Chains A and B, each alone.
Chain A
Amino acid sequence: MTGADMVQRKTRGRILVVDDSSLVRLYCCDVLERAGFEVDQAINGLEAMEKVLAQTFDLVIVDVNMPRMDGMSFIRALRGNDSPVASLPSLIVTTEASQQDRDDARAAGANFYLVKPVSEADLVRHVAVLAGLPS
């Protein structure tokens, strides 16, 4: 491995993907890494909370429906936290059926929402914008 290889490639941003489904996480990691982002994952809102407190991220993407701590509760906990993570940009992913979820997301403090299933192009475009937001 050359010295050049060992220098960390500059990343467009660090993204935390939070979804109960391993395949969704795999997809998002795959899409976003190819687009030049660094990606970490969590399986529910509680794990997400631990990770955002321990590491720096530019954006967190959360699904609404997760056991143990759903996406909405996570965003509220995030916004209510007594630390810099409170202003971490967040993107919530909802399912078509829930207008309620989208209204709740806005009320809870999410920066934006997307509806599943999310296309590669939409995902990358929104992440690029939101990860660039000042936090």
Chain B
Amino acid sequence: MAPPDAQGGRAVHVTHEDVRRLCEFIYRRTGMLFDDSKRYYIDRRIAERIAATGSESFQAYFAALRSDARQEIEHLVNAFTVNETYFYREEHQLRCMTSHLLDDLLLRKQSGESLRIWSIPCSTGEEPYSIAIWLMENWSEVDRHNIEIVASDIDTRAMKAAAEGIYGARALMRLSPSLVDRYFVRLGDGQFQIDPGLRESIQFTHVNLVDLRQMATYRDFDIIFCRNVLIYFDDASRRIAAESLFDCLQPGGYICLGHSETMSRISPLFDVRRFPDAIVYQRPETLHDRS
């Protein structure tokens, strides 16, 4: 008989074997390993989700999880990760971009050819603006090249917010005061807005990653940031989206995934490249066999 929980209701009983079953499922599906040493934390998160879904037993919850009913996989994973979006999140990828990727990409470019960077999904804009600000602050070559930044999302409301570029202080927590002064206008009521010049230099578009016709019109990108979305698609959609993204890249172009994501769960098309700051994935320079 399940013991009553703190609120006096009946808590669902979850055994160690139940947890291992669930962790193995999540590991297989997403590549995320929920470490046995954090047992207590894992148990708490699972209990939260069981309660949130109104599941009567672990079996019922696990069945819902396996079928990804109402995006439960995403909800469970979100319970384990820090969800908030802010500027300079995953700074190590930005550092990898300026320390290694751009030099490599420029080797294959004609002079005067633009560098094209795509943030998809861009959500409320923290990512594309972070890319722009980081480039200006950290890339010595930044004024010698044309850089096109495209930012896209399936959610039009998020996109509109991104184009507007207004943020609270919390989103700026990783930025030094001098950066904030340089790129933001201080509005009243503790809000900040991205400098109009910067706002206007980014192209915001509406895109569905799984829509092949839409995706086919995006071409020749040097770097794509596609974080924390592919891993929540079903197998078929992941595969299709990955192939589209491959096509959206220039040969030799790079794609960066979210911190806990891995191409090993998504697609075999890309080459894995290890840099000191990050693991990124690369479209090969040619489809032709070199062997």
Contact = CB atoms under 8 A, between A and B. Distances in A.
Q: Consider the complex of A and B and state whether they touch directly, i.e. have CB atoms less than 8 Å apart.
A: yes
A5 to B, nearest CB: 15
Size category of the B interface is: 10 to 19
Nearest to B25: A22
A43 B262 CA distance: 12
Given A22-B28, A43-B27, A47-B31, A53 B274 contact: yes
A43 B264 contact: yes
B28 A46 contact: no
Contacts of B267: 68
Contacts of A49: 264, 272
A42 B28 CA distance: 9
A122 interface: no
Contacts of B24: 22
Interface in B154-199: none
A97 interface: no
A42 B272 contact: no
B279 A54 contact: yes
Contacts of A43: 27-28, 31, 264
A43 B30 CA distance: 11
B122 interface: no
B4 interface: no
Given A46-B268, A47-B31, A54 B263 contact: no
Interface residues of A, number: 12
Interface string A18-58: 00001000000000000000000011101101100110000
B272 to A, nearest CB: 5
A68 B274 contact: no
A40 to B, nearest CB: 10
Contacts, number: 35
A50 B31 CA distance: 12
A128 interface: no
A69 interface: yes
Contacts of B262: 46-47, 50
Interface string B28-53: 10010000000000000000000000
Interface string B259-287: 00011110110001010000100000000
A53 B271 CA distance: 12
A15 B253 CA distance: 33
Interface in B242-271: 262-265, 267-268
Contacts of A53: 272, 274, 279
A38 B250 CA distance: 41
Interface of A: 22, 42-44, 46-47, 49-50, 53-54, 68-69
5 contacts: A22-B24, A50-B262, A50-B264, A53-B274, A54-B279
The 9 A-B residue pairs with the shortest CB-CB distance in the complex, in nearest-first order: A47-B264, A46-B264, A53-B274, A22-B24, A68-B268, A49-B272, A50-B272, A69-B268, A44-B264
Given A46-B264, A50-B262, A68-B268, 8 more contacts: A22-B24, A44-B264, A47-B264, A47-B265, A49-B264, A50-B272, A53-B274, A68-B267
